[in-house]
Amino acid sequence: MLQKVAIVDVAQTNHSERLEDNIREIVFELVKQLLDRLGIERSDIGSMISSSSDYFQGISCSNSYYYDAAGANLKSGSKTPEDSALAFIYGLMRILSGEYKTVLVVSITKCSEVPSVHTLTNLIADPFFQRPIGLNEVVTAGLQAREYMDRYGLTKEQLARVVIKNLGNARNNPYAHRSGEFSIKDVLASPIMVSPLREMDIASTSDGACAMLLAAEEVAKDLTDTPVFVEGVGWSANSTFLGDQDLLNGSLPLAAKMAYRMAGVKDPLQEIDVAEICDTTSFHEILWLEQLGFCRPGEGGRLIDEGITTISGKLPVNPSGGLMGANPYVARGLIRIAEAALQLKGEAGNHQVTNVNKALAHSVHGLGGQLHSVVILGK
Amino acid sequence: MGQAVAIIGTGQTKCGNRSDVSYPELIFEAVSMAFRDSGLCPEDIEAVVSGSMPPAMEGVHNPHLYWVDAMGAKGKPLIRTATCGSTGMSLAHTCFYHVASGLFDLVLVVGAEKMYEGNPQGVMATVADPFFQRPFLAGAPGIFSLQSNEWAHRYGLEEKRVRLAAAQLSVRNHDYALDNPYAHIKTKITVEDVLKSRVIAYPVRILDVCPASDGACAVIMASEKMAKKLGTKSAWIRGVGYCGEEAFFGEGDKVVWQSAILAAKTAYKQAGITNPLKELDVAEVYNPFTFQEMLFYECFGFCDFGKAVELVEKGAVMKGGELPCDPSGGVLSTNPIGATGLQRVAEVALQVTNKAGDRQIPGARMGLAHAMGGLDQFNGIMIISNSL
Amino acid sequence: MSEESRILKGYISLPYRWAMGVTTTRFFEEFKNKKIMGTRCPKCNRVLIPARSFCSHCFQKIDEWVEVGQGGTLRTWVLINFSYEGQPKEPPYIIAIIDLDGASVGLPHFVGGVPTDDIEETAKKVRIGGRVKAIWKENREGNILDINYFQPID
């Protein structure tokens, strides 16, 4: 990093199956909440990067709808759609350039307002080859899980343990809306949705929004006693056709390598104190942990079996409950970063992990996990 | 402004009806050209930025994921930028910040559109919110005509005179397009032709408006250190400005148009420009509509408010005039929306490095590129020069 | 005043006309003849299916057409057991990635001709590494669904 950039503060909605309010109102309330808490005005914001998805909003050029609601009237801004973690990274670049001292990053998705995520992610597939056979994100997840389980012998009980952990953690997260104390029997009783994955293995979708203020170091220190510094970022894309991808070894290792190198992390399992990753399915939490270098390929099941990823384990993963707890699709990446920041600030309340000095946030979208990002945060 | 950023290569496809190729193939064409122009290859590129209009335009969600292989972006950091009509400029800005941040030395940016594959006005109508504005804003012709009529009225501009100036701009752009190998519409027209053409949203006529085009544009940007190392002819980014407004069309003043004024002001300040008409040698102004283009001249300070018609009548914005505008033929002749703003950047870069072929403005050293988007909501500007 | 917040319903359905390009067009013409064609990149030697006009690894245009096998092995598969708008078939149905003989990349498509009501039964017939072959429709229109499905032949 050329200069230090910090997350000053974060705000989230109470994510929900369905938020009653209109998108503009939700964004306004959230941004206002953040500004008021910091005691600043919208005139103090240098630039605004937002993230939403036109197809997930039913409004083309989706950011035009809430641009001024996010405090950006007569200000510079941009939209990094589809994955809000990438919007965060773009915001970071604007501050690193020296042109802006503060950048507001905002993301919102109301999955309740649009067709099923399965219909919408089917539209990601090209119209000639992959769309007509019904490929979408969850179907591809099934293909990946099958390949992995056959190769490495991962069991449905191991998958269930991830579900139980995350929904259990979500009980202590006031922003999550799906939670509960479940048994392996409960999870295995849910119907197969895309074999070998069951309904409970798959994170459903939500309505939710997140806002975050980034600032150059000197400004951040003025605004908060607990600035969270960005130590490394990495992101990487994979090929479009599923047949061209190695479904079990995609672009996440490259994204992770870039972030670790920037952050000077050599041994992730030792150096990272908490990780918020996109558990699009229970299986994917396991796969992503391997590709993030927390264990070798095929060993991901061991992490959950040995309790390593529980909130009191060596590497707590998704103490917030992850996507199982709340999944407002596009906003989820920024929420992972927000949750990681709360851990570092010591503001994660009942789902606070002890002794956090370095946190990792991960996001992903596309068939098979076509585009991943990794953000390393520190104190 | 952080690290200095250079444009070291560009590529544009021939625009128009490109049903001869699939979307990814169109992208591949532009990207390959940019590699040839810069002498680089995919392995050299450290990050990629891409963008286009709302995915409903081509009916493929997450187009950046569809284009990965065509851009050589596998295994690379990739971000999509999308801000409606201003996308092309926002793309250039995103690429600029990738380099200015110090994180990357060589970045590829690609903007594209295949408007023949979708329903452009149908999609643009969905930009307006469904509760209040969607039934009324009739896509782009509706909004821009509302704005132009208000402008003409406010400055007491006689309709006949305004229409004539607009027609002159249309003839100018169509003429210039004849020298641009990438342009879509290549027709010789007269002022009479424009004045007599079919009304689509009064008083705007069909020859006052842009076509819907397929096309792709790719640009490669480099850090100062990398540009010097490579020794390629560089165009330098001297100013970057962008501004957005309210979602509700009726809320802001679209005549003394703040987002356009502020975007230009910010870019001018960074570039040290105080008298744009004098100091700029060329301008590629986003002009899907002739009438609206005159309003941009005023917002960008080329003349006072209400005086753009005079500027046109005097020939100041034609080749040979004080500030030739749109020597490429502009958006009026070629509009693959996701690429369009980026084409403005590419064209100005070509102009200031003396690579613009038959459309070269002799001696051009500093130029302005511009794009606009949303419901008359976003304006973005880039000032490009052949020197730091 | 009421505190009610209502819902406005609507549809966005827009017509599309996707250009295939010359290569994809030819690929589908061959499909009508029950041929599965790929293109080979002379630099990296991969045979890409469906046939492509450029190799994205070597980043160059390619035009050497190669026919690949009617059969191959299953790389992975999934049984779909839920509904959503715009689905190609009524569930349950099976999707897989098939490594066709002679191709360097996989092809996603349906697996059929096997029971789908009981996943245990399905898993007996559909296996990773199992051999499958293309079953073509009688009336072919030149699109990806001209292959009805791939049938396990072990």
Question: What percentage of chain B has pLDDT greater than the value 70?
Answer: 98
Identify the pLDDT of residue B257: 96
Instruction: Provide the mean pLDDT of chain B.
Output: 94
Contact A132 C145 (CB under 8 A): yes
To the nearest 10°, report the CA torsion of A367, A369, A373, A378: 140
Question: What's the helix, strand, coil split of chain A in %, to 5?
Answer: 40, 20, 40
Tell me: pLDDT of B1 over 70.
no
Interface pTM, i.e. ipTM:
0.97
Q: Are C49 and A20 a contacting pair at CB < 8 A?
A: no
| Residue for token pair 């370095």 | A358
Number of helical H runs and strand E runs in chain B: 14, 11
Q: How far is CA A191 from the centre of its chain?
A: 26
Closest CA to B79 of C120, A213, A371, A47: A371
Domains annotated on chain A, with CATH: 5-115+206-223 (3.40.47.10)
pLDDT at residue number B139: 65
- Nearest Cα to B74, choosing from A251, C17, C134, C139? A251
Say which amino acid occupies B248: F
Residues belonging to chain A with any Cβ–Cβ distance to chain C shorter than 8 Å:
20-22, 58, 115-116, 118-119, 122, 127-130, 132-135, 139, 142-147, 150-151, 191-196, 199, 239, 241-244, 247
pLDDT band per the 50, 70, 90 thresholds, residue C58? confident
Cβ contact (<8 Å) for B65 and A67?
no
Tell me how crowded residue C42 is: count the other CB atoms within 10 A of its CB: 11
Q: What is the DSSP string of B116-166?
A: GGS-HHHHHHTTS-TTTTTTTS-HHHHHHHHHHHHHHHHTT--HHHHHHHH
Give the model confidence (pLDDT) of B64-89 as tens digits. Answer: 999 999 999 999 999 999 999 999 99
> Residue B127 and residue A59: Cβ atoms within 8 Å?
yes
Q: Is the pLDDT of residue A1 over 60?
A: no
Q: Where are the domains of chain C?
A: 21-152
Q: Kindly identify which residue of chain C lies nearest to residue B21, measuring between CA atoms.
A: C21
The subunits that touch chain B, with at least 3 C-beta pairs less than 8 Å apart, are: A, C
Please identify among residues 209-248 of chain B the ones whose CB lies closer than 8 Å to any CB of chain A: 240-247
pTM: 0.94
Helix residue ranges per DSSP H, chain A: 23-38, 62-66, 84-96, 117-122, 137-152, 156-170, 184-189, 217-223, 252-263, 268-271, 282-291, 300-305, 322-325, 332-345
DSSP reduced 3-state for B378:
strand
Residues of A in contact with C106 (CB under 8 A): 242-244
CA distance B334 to B111: 14
Task: Show the domains of chain B with their CATH numbers.
Answer: 5-120+212-230 (3.40.47.10)
State how far the Cα of B136 lies from the Cα of B138, in Å rounded to an integer: 6
Query: Which chain B residues have a beta carbon less than 8 Å from that of A91?
Result: none
The pLDDT tens digits for B285-340 are 999 999 999 999 999 999 999 999 999 999 999 999 999 999 999 999 999 999 99
Chains B & C: contacts with CB separation below 8 Å: 62
Is B250 touching A (CB cutoff 8 A)? no
Shortest distance between the Cα of A220 and any Cα of chain B, in A, equals 18
d(CA B98, CA A89): 10
pLDDT bucket at B129, cuts 50 / 70 / 90 = confident
| Cβ pair C108:A129 closer than 8 A | yes
CA dihedral B259, B263, B269, B274 (to 10 degrees): -70
Task: From chain C, pick out residues whose CB is under 8 angstroms from the CB of B68.
Answer: 56
- Tell me which residue of B164, B162, B160, B127 sits closest to B249, measured CA to CA: B127
Query: CB-based contact (8 Å) between B267 and chain A?
Result: no
Strands C147-152 and C131-136: antiparallel
Whether the CB of C133 is below 8 Å from some CB of chain A: the reply is no
Rounded Cα–Cα distance for residues B3 and B95 (Å): 13
* Beta carbons within 8 Å of A150's beta carbon, 6+ residues apart: C76, C128
pLDDT band at residue B145 using 50, 70 and 90 as cut-offs: confident
CB A325 within 8 A of CB A177: yes
